A and B are shown apart, each in its own frame.
Chain A
């Protein structure tokens, strides 16, 4: 998950990476109590890139300017996202700009230091000059110096830039990051370096052991993503993970295994359908949940699909042991029995957290999506009264299940 610039800069500051004096602006009136001397830069705090080009970064010489600029930025969506916070920052005069990053090279299975002597918004120029140094063994500052020299730096800049890289690497390891980037790293006329913009990508699988990052994530404004999938998703990637969101789709997919999820989305698309939300619940062995809490978790996932009113059809494909399939089948039946009978639910502590605000409305069968369930490997008697009375299409063959899901989604969309 990406942190916002002001959050990244807080972490930079803690680590001793130089950043400009800055102030978080939650409301235009905050500008009346600005602690930073003018001129300042006001920056939209959204995760999308390319803010500068579309007017999300503006300069201001005085309070009146600043309030006008802030109003404009608060009302400017960038790739559909309105900023909830701005960052006011001192202005800085640069003579050169560099690009620096630390990330993981999945092929080499090692961290890698990246640097370009061309920083800033011109991505092509940045890429053209990109240099890399793979950290083969335990990190030592020579890796950073090696990159600085590869970037073509000379004199004092070798020391100052590699010192920044070293601190970036420490932050990367200490916080289990997926990556961090400084672009641009500004160099002043006197040779002083300054992180003018920064990006930090937190690793979802390591979230639970970094409570400080979880706090930052909780501050994050809701985006299209988090509206559809509460942040808890990120806390439990080993048990359940979001694979896919498509704003125009109307088919929900739930299955076990991440590449099975991708395959399912693919097959539905091939059959002419449009998946909206695709979730993978854990393969049995990847989590350390008990059977009871697995069932509860599955019911939470079902609730999440049902809450999404755009989903007309929910396609469930679980491939596993008879025991797992029985567990899944009974969770679905339990869940639907509650919904169909319109029994007010007494949510457990855990399910309450997943429940979006203002969702205490009652359900009738019509408001539920069509359920298509395929459980490969189970020996379940679907004709038994227990299953037959449920509003569920139990289908054994994968291709048939997909064809049925696509055709139901189309006919429901028309009515």
Chain B
């Protein structure tokens, strides 16, 4: 992902309540928001940002756009993202959560075919503290520095950022990959992006148990990444009781069905145990609580 201060940013759904609030907040943080779209609101000016009915009309007026940040309601997200892709935008951030998975499947097929990077859905976006805000991160929890954070939703990342900030460990970038079951860019993709980022010296990976990407992430960290990583995996103590939730049951079921197809760790382990084992095997320090993270990061940086 290309995140530089001169990037041209579009806000789709700028007249939605959240779209409007965050467009203003991003702009005041210094983000180069060049246009917004909201059908029926074309021709208006919102927080000094010109609003258009269509993405293509915005592009005619302001030129090629690097990134679109989407705030439209869940069932309209697929359409908004396809509109952005059709207009040549190749970086998309989906703030809205609760998008039906099959809509995401459709969108990601299109995104892969057009080499479009999709962050989210249910993402808080990206913040480069002190420089640029693409999304809804609360900037006051962050300070500039050189620790990268990869999380799923914003709020747990804020807890972590706040702990780091209080321990005088500033952050180079924080990204929220999204809270929905199917998201565009993966943890591994963001590990790769942060591996290439000169300002990032260590990475804190904030995730929760039951997300089926941990093993590939652990494998990538141990085999490819030469920056220290500290992990915080929520749900290690409590996830087993999650079984009451219908989705958790189907997740478990799915995990079970795919388990036999996978190589690697012993199959008698539960998916949760397998994920923890993968991290332990890769010798990635795992914090028990957000408050332990700063110490583990300091230790990892000394090595």
User: Chain B residues with Cβ under 8 A from A259's Cβ?
Assistant: 151-153, 155-156, 179, 206-208, 234
User: Chain B residues with Cβ under 8 A from A269's Cβ?
Assistant: 237-238
Known contacts A206-B100, A238-B97, A257-B179, A2 near B249 by CB under 8 Å? yes
Among A224, A263, A268, A282: residue with most chain B CB under 10 A: A263
Q: Are A260 and B124 in contact (CB under 8 A)?
A: no
In angstroms, how far is the closest chain B Cβ from the Cβ of A252?
14
Known contacts A176-B100, A225-B244, A244-B241, A288 near B208 by CB under 8 Å? no
Q: Are B136 and A284 in contact (CB under 8 A)?
A: yes
Bound CA span A269–B237, Å: 6
Verify if B190 is at the interface (C-beta below 8 Å from A). Answer: no
In angstroms, how far is the closest chain A Cβ from the Cβ of B238?
4
- Which residue of chain A has the shortest Cβ distance to B121 in the bound complex? A286
- What 1/0 flags go to B1-37 for Cβ under 8 Å of A? 0000000000000001110001000000000000000
Q: Are A137 and B236 in contact (CB under 8 A)?
A: no
Bound CA span A176–B16, Å: 26
Verify if A173 is at the interface (C-beta below 8 Å from B). Answer: yes
- What 1/0 flags go to B172-211 for Cβ under 8 Å of A? 0000000111100000000000000000000000111100
Q: Are B96 and A266 in contact (CB under 8 A)?
A: no
Verify if A127 is at the interface (C-beta below 8 Å from B). Answer: yes
Bound CA span A287–B21, Å: 13
User: Chain A residues with Cβ under 8 A from B212's Cβ?
Assistant: 106-107
- Which residue of chain B has the shortest Cβ distance to A175 in the bound complex? B102
In angstroms, how far is the closest chain B Cβ from the Cβ of A256?
5
Bound CA span A109–B237, Å: 28
Q: Are A132 and B261 in contact (CB under 8 A)?
A: yes
User: Chain B residues with Cβ under 8 A from A237's Cβ?
Assistant: 98
- What 1/0 flags go to B207-240 for Cβ under 8 Å of A? 1110011001000000000000000101111110
Q: How many residues of B contact A (CB 8 A)?
A: 73
- Which residue of chain B has the shortest Cβ distance to A111 in the bound complex? B105
Q: Are B17 and A288 in contact (CB under 8 A)?
A: yes
Verify if A243 is at the interface (C-beta below 8 Å from B). Answer: yes
- What 1/0 flags go to B236-256 for Cβ under 8 Å of A? 111101101111011001101
Verify if B291 is at the interface (C-beta below 8 Å from A). Answer: yes
User: Chain B residues with Cβ under 8 A from A81's Cβ?
Assistant: none
Known contacts A205-B74, A288-B73, A266 near B260 by CB under 8 Å? no
Partner of B182, one of A104, A238, A244, A275: A104
In angstroms, how far is the closest chain B Cβ from the Cβ of A248?
9
Partner of B213, one of A107, A128, A130, A286: A107
Bound CA span A179–B181, Å: 13
User: Chain B residues with Cβ under 8 A from A137's Cβ?
Assistant: 109
Verify if B257 is at the interface (C-beta below 8 Å from A). Answer: yes
- What 1/0 flags go to A106-137 for Cβ under 8 Å of B? 11011100100000000000011010100001
Bound CA span A111–B213, Å: 17
- What 1/0 flags go to A388-412 for Cβ under 8 Å of B? 0000000000110000000000000
User: Chain A residues with Cβ under 8 A from B135's Cβ?
Assistant: 285
Bound CA span A360–B79, Å: 45
In angstroms, how far is the closest chain B Cβ from the Cβ of A400?
11
Verify if B273 is at the interface (C-beta below 8 Å from A). Answer: no
Partner of A109, one of B105, B206, B239, B254: B105
Q: Are B238 and A275 in contact (CB under 8 A)?
A: yes
Q: Are B256 and A399 in contact (CB under 8 A)?
A: no
Verify if A333 is at the interface (C-beta below 8 Å from B). Answer: no
Verify if A384 is at the interface (C-beta below 8 Å from B). Answer: no
Partner of A103, one of B16, B154, B250: B250
Known contacts A259-B152, A262-B238, A288-B16, A173 near B249 by CB under 8 Å? no
In angstroms, how far is the closest chain B Cβ from the Cβ of A30?
28
User: Chain A residues with Cβ under 8 A from B209's Cβ?
Assistant: 262
User: Chain A residues with Cβ under 8 A from B17's Cβ?
Assistant: 288-291
- Which residue of chain B has the shortest Cβ distance to A245 in the bound complex? B244
Q: Are B235 and A265 in contact (CB under 8 A)?
A: yes
Among B98, B155, B257: residue with most chain A CB under 10 A: B155
Q: Are B159 and A319 in contact (CB under 8 A)?
A: yes
Bound CA span A205–B151, Å: 22
In angstroms, how far is the closest chain A Cβ from the Cβ of B258?
7
Bound CA span A104–B241, Å: 23
Verify if B61 is at the interface (C-beta below 8 Å from A). Answer: no
- What 1/0 flags go to A216-258 for Cβ under 8 Å of B? 0000000011000000000001110011111000000001111
Verify if A94 is at the interface (C-beta below 8 Å from B). Answer: no
Q: Are B179 and A258 in contact (CB under 8 A)?
A: yes
In angstroms, how far is the closest chain B Cβ from the Cβ of A403?
12
Bound CA span A258–B235, Å: 11
User: Chain A residues with Cβ under 8 A from B249's Cβ?
Assistant: 2
Q: Tell me the A residues contacting B by CB distance below 8 Å.
A: 1-2, 47, 101, 103-107, 109-111, 114, 127-128, 130, 132, 137-138, 172-173, 176, 178-179, 201, 203-206, 208-209, 224-225, 237-239, 242-246, 255-260, 262-263, 265-270, 275, 282-291, 319-321, 376-377, 398-399
Query: Could you write out 21 A-B pairs with CB less than 8 Å apart?
Result: A2-B249, A101-B257, A103-B250, A106-B254, A128-B260, A176-B100, A201-B246, A203-B100, A243-B242, A244-B242, A256-B155, A257-B155, A258-B179, A262-B235, A263-B159, A266-B237, A268-B238, A283-B136, A285-B135, A288-B18, A321-B138
Query: Lowest 3 A-B CB distances belong to which pairs?
Result: A238-B98, A257-B155, A263-B234
Q: A244-B244, A246-B244 are in contact. List 11 more A-B contacts (CB 8 A).
A: A109-B182, A127-B260, A132-B258, A132-B261, A205-B101, A205-B180, A257-B153, A260-B159, A283-B124, A283-B179, A377-B141
